[in-house]
Amino acid sequence: MEPPKKEIRLFQLTILSWFKSNARQFQWRALGLSIYQIVISEVLLQRTKAETVSKNYDIFFKRYPDWNSLNNSNICDIENLLFPFGLYRQRAQRLKALAKAMVENNVLLPNERSLIEKIPLMGQYIANAVELLVFKRNIPLLDVNMARVLERYFGPRKLKDIRFDPYLKFLSREVVDHIKSKEINWAILDFAALICQSRKPKCPICVFQKTCQYHLKIYNLDLDGHQE
């Protein structure tokens, strides 16, 4: 029941085309970021709007430019800087544990996936981000947003938890298995934020109208509604 390669190709071409004229610009999408900047950016982005992170991004990195400065700080200072991001008490604790682990490991990331996931705060999503952005592998940034876009377009998952759903895992890997893997990943996140929003998706201006399962379903329901 997996979508044919042809459908995947069409989705890739369309989202890349859309991305060309609609990409969002963020500090963490600049070229030549350090591993520290890449990892911390992903931590800040957890359950937090990209715009919120962007607004407070420079203040955080000016105060804590590297693993050592973060490791040498106290929890209270980190909390104060994290306050505008939300989840600040929990993230301050975990960030410091992460910095400590990195310093103890000579500020190096292991190459292997199973070892990456042993580091504090490196869950399924951030491990994927590390593989994509640091090691340049074709790996999906599978979060609630990518899940929503893929499920609306290709059809819903079975399991409740995104991280363990085999259908979504397979589908997301197929979709970003492309020479422009990073661009497709960012394109899907931007598309999710700007068009395929959780609550009020902008189907009327969406480039996927003809082939999106979600739109076709809504469209048919709408026709039924007007028939009486």
- Contact between 45 and 136 under an 8 Å Cβ cutoff? The reply is no
Residue closer to DNA (CB basis): 198 or 210: 198
Residue closer to DNA (CB basis): 7 or 120: 120
Query: Residues 144 to 183: which contact DNA by CB under 7 A?
Result: 144-145, 148, 159-161, 163-164
Does position 86 interact with DNA (CB under 7 A)? The reply is yes
Backbone angles phi, psi at 11, to 5 degrees: -60, -45
Question: Smallest Cα–Cα separation from 207: which of 5, 25, 4, 12?
Answer: 12
Residue closer to DNA (CB basis): 65 or 166: 166
**Considering only 58-66, 81-89, 107-115, 174-182, which stretch makes contact with DNA by CB under 7 A?**
81-89
**Amino acid letter, 227:** Q
Residue closer to DNA (CB basis): 9 or 86: 86
CB of 101 to DNA, least distance (A): 10
Residue closer to DNA (CB basis): 12 or 185: 185
**Considering only 70-78, 115-123, 170-178, 209-217, which stretch makes contact with DNA by CB under 7 A?**
115-123
CA dist., res. 70 & res. 56, Å (int): 16
From the list 23, 68, 94, 180, which residue makes contact with DNA (rule: CB under 7 A)? 94
Does position 105 interact with DNA (CB under 7 A)? The reply is no
CB of 6 to DNA, least distance (A): 28
CA dist., res. 65 & res. 3, Å (int): 44
Residue closer to DNA (CB basis): 14 or 124: 124
Residue closer to DNA (CB basis): 9 or 111: 111
CB of 18 to DNA, least distance (A): 15
E strands along 50-106, which residues?
none
Question: Smallest Cα–Cα separation from 145: which of 49, 9, 211?
Answer: 49
- Helical residues (DSSP H) of 155-212, grouped into ranges: 166-176, 181-194
CA dist., res. 218 & res. 145, Å (int): 20
Per DSSP, the chain holds a count of helices (H) and strands (E) of 12, 0
From the list 50, 95, 150, 212, which residue makes contact with DNA (rule: CB under 7 A)? 50
Task: Classify 205 as helix, strand or coil.
Answer: helix
Other beta carbons within 10 angstroms of residue 169's beta carbon come to 16
E strands along the chain, which residues?
none
The footprint of DNA (CB under 7 A) covers 24, 26, 28-29, 41-42, 45-52, 83-91, 94, 120-127, 129, 141, 143-145, 148, 159-161, 163-164, 186, 189-190, 192-193, 197-200
